[in-house]
């Protein structure tokens, strides 16, 4: 009998050991899977209350281009009816911004504003026949004022001015020598901007900060600390530069500049991996490299070696970024927050519950759509259906807003 008991006990111990091995193996396997980052790995940020986003619909058959507002808070269905922001057929919006119920957009070099979520809108500034070009326009961080960058033929450079929501009480902030200056973010004390926006995919980075408070202008590329933005770093697109909600940090992805001779004798530029995910402190004028995206075999044969961009978690100075088909929190570069089935084009919003981003269509890379992914349930859905695809050149022209 004791021999039988010992035999049973031995078998029981073996079974328990096998179960333990299976459980441990499953835990390790689950942890290593893309998109399985737990909420404990995420920055402790509040959840965003979504209102909507502005995007452009390009109907390839008729070549019409119109801005639309997609209201995200009305329905969780896969198909959501967008709201056209006025009859602007064939008029490409140069810029757009959205905060809460306020939707700002430019069409035909005129500035329009809706204060009721896109239901009605009013003309704020500009004249379609003036010849002036509104390069970019942004609501202030508190959504009480507007700043715009305007190019005027015959005048050297860009004029950057501020006004109230009716277009009145205009204040000239500063001018830049560039014919295309993109405003990245601003409040009444400071403006962060990008120069050479018009050729942002063919020129090295020149970025600046204007402090209205002390009337000072900093060139972020050649600041007091030469390591602020090293000369060999390059920003792929100005839309990929994000300023934090409190205007204290700037996030972007930079890559080594490569010169390309042009047929007209001029020099063009492109960037190649490795790319650095950079967090730039606007107060100290110091930068930190949070992650590096390494080159891969075969990159030299690709027109674009990697698609990369960066942003901030909602109400946080914590950076997240995308590299090709993966989205990461900079605090955990090993396990993606989400692994997509096609290229991620633009990061729109992240908090501790969800990701919203644009992504190439799996069957047609020239089209993009928006997707929302729940970090807790691991569920995702498209925000635009196949009939409202957004042309890649326009994509979504504003990030998701919050109430």
Confidence band, pLDDT 50/70/90 cuts, at residue 234: low
What are the strands, taking DSSP E only, across 165-215? 171-176, 182-186, 190-194, 207-211
Task: Calculate mean pLDDT across residues 7-21.
Answer: 51
Task: Calculate mean pLDDT across residues 274-303.
Answer: 82
Confidence band, pLDDT 50/70/90 cuts, at residue 192: confident
Per-domain residue ranges of the chain: 1-32, 33-37+46-391
Confidence band, pLDDT 50/70/90 cuts, at residue 175: confident
Q: Are 255 and 297 in contact (CB under 8 A)?
A: no
CATH topology of domain 33-37+46-391: Neuraminidase (2.120.10)
Sign of CA dihedral 202, 289, 398, 129: negative
Q: Are 304 and 345 in contact (CB under 8 A)?
A: no
* Rounded-to-integer distance, Cα 317 and Cα 302, Å: 33
Residue with more model confidence, 316 or 241: 316
Note the pTM of the prediction, 2 decimals.
0.79
Task: Calculate mean pLDDT across residues 50-62.
Answer: 66
The predicted pLDDT at position 201 comes to 42
| Tokens describing residue 38 | 């737990």
* Rounded-to-integer distance, Cα 154 and Cα 266, Å: 24
The predicted pLDDT at position 322 comes to 93
Residues pairing with 310 in the sheet: 321
The predicted pLDDT at position 27 comes to 42
Confidence band, pLDDT 50/70/90 cuts, at residue 313: very high
The predicted pLDDT at position 397 comes to 47
Q: Are 385 and 79 in contact (CB under 8 A)?
A: yes
Confidence band, pLDDT 50/70/90 cuts, at residue 190: confident
The predicted pLDDT at position 338 comes to 94
Residue 394 backbone dihedrals phi, psi, to 5 degrees:
-100, -40
Does the pLDDT value for residue 365 go beyond 80? no
Does the pLDDT value for residue 159 go beyond 70? yes
The predicted pLDDT at position 216 comes to 66
Give, in order, the Cα–Cα distances in Å from 169 to each of 2, 154, 163: 96, 25, 5
* Rounded-to-integer distance, Cα 14 and Cα 6, Å: 12
Question: How high does pLDDT run on average in the chain?
Answer: 74
Residue with more model confidence, 5 or 279: 279
Percentage of residues of the chain with pLDDT beyond 90: 14
Rg (CA), the chain: 24
The predicted-structure confidence for 76-132, as pLDDT tens digits, reads as follows 544 556 777 777 766 667 778 888 788 888 888 899 998 887 778 899 999 887 888
């Amino acid at each position: 009998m004791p021999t039988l008991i010992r035999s049973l006990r031995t078998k029981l111990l073996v079974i328990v050991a096998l179960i333990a091995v299976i459980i441990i193996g499953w835990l390790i396997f689950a942890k290593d899977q893309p998109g399985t980052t737990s909420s404990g790995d995420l920055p402790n940020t509040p959840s965003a209350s979504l209102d909507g986003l502005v995007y452009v619909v390009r109907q390839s058959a008729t070549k019409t281009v119109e801005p639309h507002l997609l209201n995200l808070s009305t329905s969780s269905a896969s198909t959501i009816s967008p709201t056209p922001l006025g009859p602007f057929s064939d008029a490409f919006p140069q810029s757009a911004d959205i905060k809460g119920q306020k939707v700002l957009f430019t069409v035909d070099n005129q500035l329009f504003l809706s204060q009721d979520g896109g239901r009605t809108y009013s003309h704020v500034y500009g004249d379609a026949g003036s010849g002036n070009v509104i390069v970019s326009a942004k609501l202030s961080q508190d959504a009480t004022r507007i700043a715009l960058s305007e190019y005027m033929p015959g005048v050297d450079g860009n004029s950057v001015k501020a006004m109230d929501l009716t277009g009145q009480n205009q204040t000239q902030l500063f001018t830049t020598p560039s014919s295309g200056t993109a405003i990245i973010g601003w409040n009444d004390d400071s403006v962060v901007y990008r120069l050479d926006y018009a050729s942002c995919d063919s020129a090295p980075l020149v970025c600046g900060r204007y402090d209205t408070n002390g009337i000072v202008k900093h060139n972020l590329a050649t600041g007091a600390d030469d390591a602020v933005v090293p000369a060999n770093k390059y920003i792929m697109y100005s839309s990929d530069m994000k300023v934090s909600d409190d205007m204290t940090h700037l996030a972007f992805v930079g890559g080594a500049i490569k010169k390309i001779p042009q047929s007209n004798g001029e020099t063009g530029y492109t960037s190649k991996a490795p790319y650095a995910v950079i967090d730039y402190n606007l107060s100290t004028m110091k930068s930190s490299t949070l992650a590096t995206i390494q080159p891969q075999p075969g990159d030299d044969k690709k027109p674009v070696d990697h698609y990369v961009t960066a942003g901030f978690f909602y109400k946080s100075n914590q950076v997240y970024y995308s590299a090709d088909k993966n989205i990461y929190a900079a605090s955990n570069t090993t396990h993606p927050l989400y692994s997509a089935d096609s290229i991620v084009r633009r990061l729109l919003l992240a908090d501790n519950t969800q990701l919203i981003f644009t992504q190439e269509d799996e069957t047609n890379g020239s089209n993009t759509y928006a997707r929302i992914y729940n970090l807790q349930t691991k569920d995702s859905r498209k925000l635009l259906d196949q009939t409202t695809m957004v042309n890649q050149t326009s994509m979504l022209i504003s990030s998701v807003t919050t109430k």
